[in-house]
Chain A
Amino acid sequence: MTTTLKVAQTFLAQVCLFAATALAQDLSLNLQDHRSLAEGARRIREKTHWMICVEEPLRASKAASTAGQPRDNRGAEPPARDKLQVTFASLRKRGDRPQALQQIVSAYNAQNPGGDGPYRLESVASYQVLVPATGSILSARIGVPRAARLAQDHLNALATAVSSQAGGTEVMVDTAAFGFRFNQAFHGNTDLAVKPFEWGVSNEVARNALAGLLNSSLTSTVWQVDCHVGIKPSVGHCILSVMPITVEVTNSAGRMVKRTLFYDKAVGNTNVVVPPPPPAQ
């Protein structure tokens, strides 16, 4: 596994280099769309590699849709458009993180009165989570029977438990951002890597349970909760998306490019095969 180790070390060196350069930048956000807060969090993740998650509140069904509002295949609507305008005076070092994240929360709350807010910032393990003050579906206490499953199935079991605490609102798991290979990204990509392991929780806040589960992944993973408004008689639903981190790095040609981090927590792990990067990228 010499190659794997060497690659992983090179990769980490790149990430450190990135951190040194990216943190030296300031960032302005001027967003106006559905889910501006989540988009703002994504852009900050790209610049800083901070593990930021966003959770929307559970939404009640309503009688009629807003004209022009897109509907999904279940007849549900996304939340109304919102906005986020903020300039960060400093994203220069990791110590700036609490202040920067508090700034984004304050700006969003002030600019969207009557919207989903107010939001607050919550720290869970290595994550910074933007949570509605009224809580989200992940604020409930849940129990997931301990059993041997694949990572994707653990997530599904967690979603089922969350759904049962959310008044029957369906909670679906979305791992598409892994290119539909969440199990490989979690367990490793050799032939023997993907195998069940035991996990379960009892009377634990769903957010903490999720953070604990994702902590076992070989790939840094964040989450986002998106809830759609049900148009009666349809009920709304929520999507729990788990996603890898995409960051900006300077490549060997000196160009700033985006890289999605896979297996960044797998240094020395024999369940992961990662070739060196191809030439001239």
Chain B
Amino acid sequence: MLRMLGFFVLTVLALPNSALRGQSLYVLSDLYIDEASGNVTGTATTSTDYYTSFYYDIGVNLSLRIIPQYGSPYYACSNWNSTNSSSSVSSSCSTNLGTQFADVELASYHWLDATYYYYQLQYCSWECYYFADYYGFSFLGTSGTYYDNQYFYAPGQTTPSSQRTTKSANLYKTKARGGCTYPSSETVYGWGWNAYNAYAAQFLQVLNGGSFNNRIVSEVFPSQGTDTCWRPSNGGQPVTTLAPGSWLVNFIKAMDYNGFASFSFNYSNGWGFDHLGFYGSGGANLLSSYVQNVRNQGGGSCSLNFSQYMYMYCGLYSTSNGGAYYKFNNPLVITVNATGTSALLNSQRSGIDQSRNIP
């Protein structure tokens, strides 16, 4: 690292802070299952951009855990790799499942160690030289657990720092062996409001990455949500979870929600509706109470938040061979806004919003 000091100082002098390009970090993994042979291979990679890679040491560790349809889970293999001289490092490990059906979990840990050098951050004599985080690496939003490949980009603001800092991220992926593939993503369409429940928004989903017709998808809410609208004076209790639903994926048709009879939505690989909002007269009454709560506090908004996980079963029309999660931590948000005499309900799934006025 020391050999680069001269170049580092030269570069900083040449570029003002505002023009500095941030440092980037990629964490990637993938899981391959050969259905015929039962071979399973996991790979994981940590990469940083070439331009800044010489300030950083990077590494990756991965393991494969097997959850057989019958029997106890076990760790099949693990491996790690690191480098202080390259912008990318990978690791992999393999196992063979034989003929058994199983869920395979790939867990990878990615890290990046940064070493900084003295730099004069403002005009003075020697007393204001600091170890300087030149690329704003400290601002990378890592340190979490993720279920998709991630790309982190630092804002590029030079800042004082300790001499060494570390950023890390966990990546988690799972697939099922048993003749099954799973969606790579899901396209969400807001489809108006339920005809019999005026405050229940409808969402249609189309699955991408293969053919999934006649498979069953289910939702899971593994953690409690939040309901900032509820007050003890409302009675009952806050709405902190949803009863999990399941749907059959198929060629789905839906009429235009404005009432036109033609099928303006007509796709295979679809499922729905996923409803989000307030049902029935009891739900409408609760919504009115929530609006009143917001008004009682002088206006503003409150919300209900849930984290939805989507699971797909392996077999056609069947749940007997297990499956895999294909969507993690999907945000469902219901927001109630009240300002003056007007009130607005907003239902959001996967970032798709639907709003309507509350009379």
Contacts and interface: CB of A to CB of B under 8 A. Distances in A.
B286 A174 contact: yes
A70 B220 contact: no
A276 B283 CA distance: 30
A35 B232 contact: yes
B233 interface: yes
B242 interface: yes
Contact of B319 (A39, A177, A178, A273): A273
Contact of A239 (B232, B235, B320): B235
- Interface SS of chain A: helix, strand, loop or mixed? mixed
B325 interface: yes
A135 to B, nearest CB: 18
B320 A275 contact: no
Given A78-B233, A174-B285, A257 B223 contact: yes
A116 B141 CA distance: 52
A246 B243 CA distance: 12
B279 A190 contact: no
Contacts, number: 165
A181 B243 contact: yes
Contact of B224 (A4, A189, A258): A258
A17 B303 CA distance: 33
Contacts of B322: 3, 276
A258 B238 CA distance: 14
B236 A243 contact: yes
Nearest to B328: A278
A182 interface: yes
Given A3-B320, A34-B233, A243-B236, A179 B282 contact: no
B72 interface: no
A174 B282 contact: yes
Contact of B236 (A33, A189, A191, A241): A241
Contact of A226 (B218, B236, B328): B236
Interface residues of B, number: 57
B236 A179 contact: no
Contacts of A180: 200, 239, 242, 275, 277-280, 283
A180 B280 CA distance: 8
B174 interface: yes
A142 to B, nearest CB: 19
B23 interface: no
B322 to A, nearest CB: 6
Contacts of A275: 218, 220, 311, 313, 323, 325
Interface in A153-196: 156, 172-182, 184-185, 189-191
Contacts of B145: 280
A191 B231 CA distance: 35
Contact of A39 (B232, B277, B282): B232
A134 B55 CA distance: 77
Nearest to B324: A275
Given A177-B239, A275-B323, 14 more contacts: A3-B320, A4-B319, A34-B231, A72-B288, A73-B285, A78-B233, A174-B282, A179-B242, A180-B275, A181-B243, A191-B246, A260-B224, A273-B313, A278-B325
7 contacts: A4-B319, A70-B231, A173-B281, A180-B279, A189-B244, A273-B216, A275-B311
